Structure 1
Amino acid sequence: MASIEEIAATLRTIVKPGMKPKALRAAVRERHPDAHKKDIVRAAFYALTEAPQTGEAALADLHSFALSERGSDDTDGEVKLSKKRKKKNHASRADGHAAH
């Protein structure tokens, strides 16, 4: 499996202004087929913080990708609650309180 540094290097070379998250993930997976979405997102943050060498517009897109994808699921893009939070929300609803 590729390291975060290797995936970050790939991201720096392939990211272009206006690139969609799905296209960015697909391009990374062409070079690193075993990379998980979580690894790609971590590598995006790493690429932003450790060695930004691309243009400003590409960095903005990489930043947007990393932020939007950090809590989403591969299949539907929804953020899933942890089991602990689900139980807490379920208990609040059972008591008649609305979950916030």
Structure 2
Amino acid sequence: MASLEAIANTLRSVAASGMKPKALLAAVRERHPEATKKEVVRAAFYALTESHGDAPQHFLDLHGFAITERAPDDNEPVKPAKLRRKKKDGKVGAAERPVH
């Protein structure tokens, strides 16, 4: 299994302006055939955060790839998870209150 840093370096070297996400994923998988899509997306975010003075257009291409490919399905946007409130322990409901 290739390291995240190795995949990120590959992404930096193969990413080109206007490259489609599927083409970028295919180019990375030529060099790292065992890499999963999830690992490649993580490496794209890593390449963005750990960049060393690359061209601004290069950032936009990697960012666009990482954002679009993180969705579970290509046609569905990522939906934020709805937070649930925790019930407080120790509270007695109205039906259970003792009558005095």
- Structure 2, gaps ≥5 residues long: 83-100
| CA 1:66–1:52: 2 relative to 1, 3 Å | farther
Correspondence 1:1-100 to 2 at 5 A: 1-73=1-73, 77-79=74-76
Identity %: 57
Q: 1:12, 1:52 within 8 Å by CA — same for their partners in 2?
A: no
Matched positions, count? 81
Q: Which deviations, in whole Å up to 9, do the C-alpha atoms of 1:36-78 show, x marking residues without a partner? A: 00000000000000124432112101101101111234xxx24
Q: 1:18, 1:58 within 8 Å by CA — same for their partners in 2?
A: no
| CA 1:30–1:64: 2 relative to 1, 3 Å | same
Mapped partners of 1:44, 1:57: distance in 2: 14
> Is the helix fraction higher in 1 or 2?
1
Mapped partners of 2:26, 2:10: distance in 1: 12
Cα RMSD (Å):
2.3
Mapped partners of 2:28, 2:38: distance in 1: 12
Q: 1:41, 1:66 within 8 Å by CA — same for their partners in 2?
A: yes
